[in-house]
Amino acid sequence: MALTIEALSCWLVDIPTVRPHKLSMVTMGCQTLTIVKMTCAGGISGWGEATTIGGLSYGPESPEAIKSAIDGYLSPLLCQKTFSGVESLAETMNTSVKGNTFAKSALETAFLDALGKAHNLPVSSLLGGALSERLPVLWTLASGSTEKDIDEGHRLLAEGRHRAFKLKIGAKPLETDLAHALAIKAALGDDVPVHVDVNQAWDMTTALKAIPQLHDGGISMIEQPLALQERHNLIALSQRMPVTILADEAVTDSHAAFALASGGFTGAFALKIAKAGGPAQVIKLAHVAQSAGISLYGGTMLEGTLGTVASLHAWSTLQMRSGTEMFGPLLLKDDIVTTPLDYQNGQVKLPQGPGLGIEIDEDKLRHYARKQ
């Protein structure tokens, strides 16, 4: 299973979104994908992606910093070396480079893609084997307008593309946010699951006031209502509230997952390959959750198809009892793959074939790549 890495190339790829995407900390009109090509001995190439949200608005790694870490530190560390498998790659990166999990995720993805191609196996097989070839996928309603979100939700339900939705709140006054969320839930109906993502915007007092009202309105899952450092309060909310508390930013790696689980957290974990350091690393985090009886949810950093497929290969090997939100490619006006993902009937299909099972359109890559 060994591979020798000969060269690494990295691009920043800017693609407009189909509509403004409003979060509590930023409104996005464009997404930047950090794309990596790993060339290995024998003419095998693997592709990876690292994507964050709103530059530095979401977290400590920006697209520019991810590219800098790869070009300046990780590429010289890895090139011309042979790795027996993905764990030896991760060990080498983690020993010499601290943090920078987004950059490491792109490289681990590219390595798995190349390894799968070398052995004619899908990445899911390298991660333990797919349990399903289709996964549920919701859509985030985040235009910033209640009326537009309701219309968008009704249209997507009629088309059959999605059967569940997420709402972004936290940027506006509490009463405005509550009215917005409850109006959308009421308009979509009792049979359509809806949850809200607060993106760390509330304090404990606000959460205690807001969550019962959301629950009474039919919203059954609340994502990351508190700042990621407020671990004890997040645990307390999960134990006290009649809804599922979904930990996202608070679950950065398997150590953070263990801290929440051992503290008595009873909600669900949002997994993201970028936070964990790659598809193989996020499986370790998932196993911590499963051991504690914590449900799993497949989260997105609004990646393009490349990063989305890498996540899907990992999710396919797990029981994602709280669903997934791998809709990132649908938010983009274009992409850099030759064949788009198959979204229908509230599900997305896992690509088949060696490695990630997708091909990169290098003409589109060059077209959207940021000029230095």
Residues marked active site are found at: 168
- Residue 189 is classified by DSSP as -
Residues 6+ apart with CB under 8 A from 132: 316, 350
- Dist CA 78 CA 73 (whole Å): 9
Contact 96, 129 (CB under 8 A): no
Residue 127 C-alpha from the chain's centroid: 17
CA distances 198 to 132, 174, 271, 328, Å, are: 30, 11, 17, 19
CA distances 109 to 95, 131, 323, 343, Å, are: 19, 20, 22, 22
CB neighbourhood size of 48 (10 A):
31
> What tokens does 218 get?
């039919």
Residues 6+ apart with CB under 8 A from 96: 73, 77
Q: Which SS3 state, helix, strand or coil, does residue 273 take? A: helix
Q: What is the dihedral of CA 216, 222, 227, 228, to 10 degrees?
A: 150
